[in-house]
A = this chain, B = another copy of it.
Amino acid sequence: MKNSITKNFKFELIHQSSRSKARVGRIHTPHGIIDTPNFVAVGTNATLKALDSHTADELGLQLMFCNTYHLMVQPGAELIKQAGGLHKFLNRKNPIITDSGGFQVFSLAQGDTKDELKSRNNKQNEGSVLKISEEGVLFRSYRDGRMILLTPETSVQAQKDLGADIIIPFDELPPYTISPAKLKQSLDRTHRWEKRSLDEHKRNVNNQAMYAVIHGGVNREMRKESCDYLGNLDFDGYAIGGSLGKNHQELFELLEYVVPALPNDKPNHLLGIGDLNSIEQCVIAGIDTMDCSHPTRAARHGVLFTSQGQLKLLNSSYKQDFGTIDPECECTTCKNYSRAYLQHLFKAKEITAMTLATMHNLHYMIKLMKQLREKILMDLI
């Protein structure tokens, strides 16, 4: 067990699989334990979509991801500070992680159709980026037209206001298609920004842990360089960000050389990956936590995860199917409602459909991760 510079934050390695890089651990935070490997649900605006935090706590969701960019714009980080921080604001008992806002502003600057921006399906929500410099990024809020300067320092200050258990340094998001020279420039700037973020963080640790973000796109040498540089700074953990490849194959190749290059005694996190097809292989590659909005978004579109695979609720074959979503599931939705009823709610465009489906998929993810931890403990994967 290695202590962090952050009081109340430590990573405990419980078991290293003899068959793979998969490992079981426990991250201790000021708001309790995160068993690893684990799935991190995304609650962009300080709530999961269609599910309140009381219910998320009851479901056993150990780590929730909130987005600093969105919260700076609405309701503002200062307001959340006044509320006593994110945990008090949304009344969450368990740990929270926030990002730096970098991903969102650069997605905006590139006119990129990132999932989260796409999912809003609302042009006015996109705002605009006015200037990118060594200092940081100046952008205009989509909500009130206010100009916001996001720099390593302001991002960390905002994350201090939010008060999540784990925070992330400000970084640059280069596009997938980029020349090696430009990627190197971006990597160097990201490293300067992450160092500035860490310095800002250390001025007021505030019982928070900071994870670095490893960059370098799909370039093996630059990933290695990023692991070396950031691994020598006293971050509490390591997130893997930037472009992770254009398909699963590239992702898994990348993890094969990135994960072993990370400090083994610190927790790692894979940013924005957590679809069902990737999870087990990421865990086998040694990933401790990963966040993804897919399980909750799929639920809102009527795609439910079951022990028999994905179930598309709107499929006509479920119209008269009065069985539960998944006979092996013990969630509130499965205990109370049938496939036919849920299909009806989706067809009638009832909000209740989204809530019930989200509860189910979240329960599924939590159980899946528990099963993976059990498999690792038995050296089955």
**A binding-site residues for B, Cβ under 8 Å:** 45-54, 70, 74-75, 79, 82-84, 89-91, 319-320, 322, 332, 336-338, 340-341, 343-345, 347-348, 350-352, 354-356
Complex: how many Å from CA A347 to CA B91?
18
- Do residues B341 and A90 form an inter-chain contact, with CB atoms below 8 A? yes
A332: chain B residues at CB < 8 Å are: 54
Would you give 17 A-B contacts (Cβ < 8 Å), ordered by A?
Answer: A46-B344, A47-B350, A48-B352, A50-B351, A52-B336, A52-B355, A52-B356, A54-B332, A70-B348, A75-B319, A75-B344, A79-B344, A83-B338, A83-B340, A84-B322, A90-B341, A91-B341
* Cβ–Cβ contact B340 & A45, under 8 A: no
B residues near A83, Cβ cutoff 8 Å: 322, 338, 340-341
Q: Which residue of B lies closest to A356 (CB)?
A: B52
- For the complex with contacts A90-B341, A91-B336, 18 further pairs of A-B residues with Cβ separation under 8 Å are A46-B341, A49-B350, A50-B355, A52-B336, A54-B332, A74-B347, A74-B348, A75-B340, A75-B344, A79-B319, A79-B340, A82-B320, A82-B322, A83-B341, A84-B322, A90-B337, A91-B341, A351-B355
Of B70, B89, B351, B356, the residue contacting A354 (CB under 8 A) is B351
Contact of A47 among B82, B91, B340, B352 (CB under 8 A): B352
Q: Nearest Cβ distance between residue A355 and chain B, in whole angstroms?
A: 6
Q: Closest Cβ of chain B: how far from A133's Cβ, in Å?
A: 30
Whether B51 and A352, one on each chain, are in contact in the complex, defined by CB atoms closer than 8 angstroms, is yes
When C-beta atoms are compared, the residue in chain B nearest to A52 turns out to be B352
CB distance from A43 to the nearest CB of B (A): 9
Chain B residues in 8 Å Cβ range of A79: 319-320, 340, 344
Please give, as numbers and ranges, the residues of chain B lying within 8 Å of A322 by CB-CB distance. 82-84
Q: What is the bound-complex CA distance between A352 and B359, given in angstroms?
A: 12
Cross-chain contact B82 with A352 (CB below 8 angstroms)? no
Smallest Cβ distance from A301 to chain B, in angstroms? 13
Q: Select A352's contact among B49, B89, B340, beta carbons within 8 Å.
A: B49
**Considering residues A49, A52, A348, which has the most beta carbons from chain B within 10 angstroms of its beta carbon?**
A52
Query: What is the CA–CA distance of A82 and B337 in the complex, to the nearest angstrom?
Result: 15
Contact A350 B45 (CB under 8 A): yes
Return chain B residues, CB-CB under 8 Å to A74. 344, 347-348
Nearest B residue to A347 by beta-carbon distance? B74
Chain B residue with Cβ nearest A354: B351
Instruction: Give the complex CA separation of A366 and B52 in angstroms.
Output: 22
Q: Which B residues are in CB contact (< 8 Å) with A84?
A: 322
With the chains together, A70 CA to B350 CA distance in Å? 13
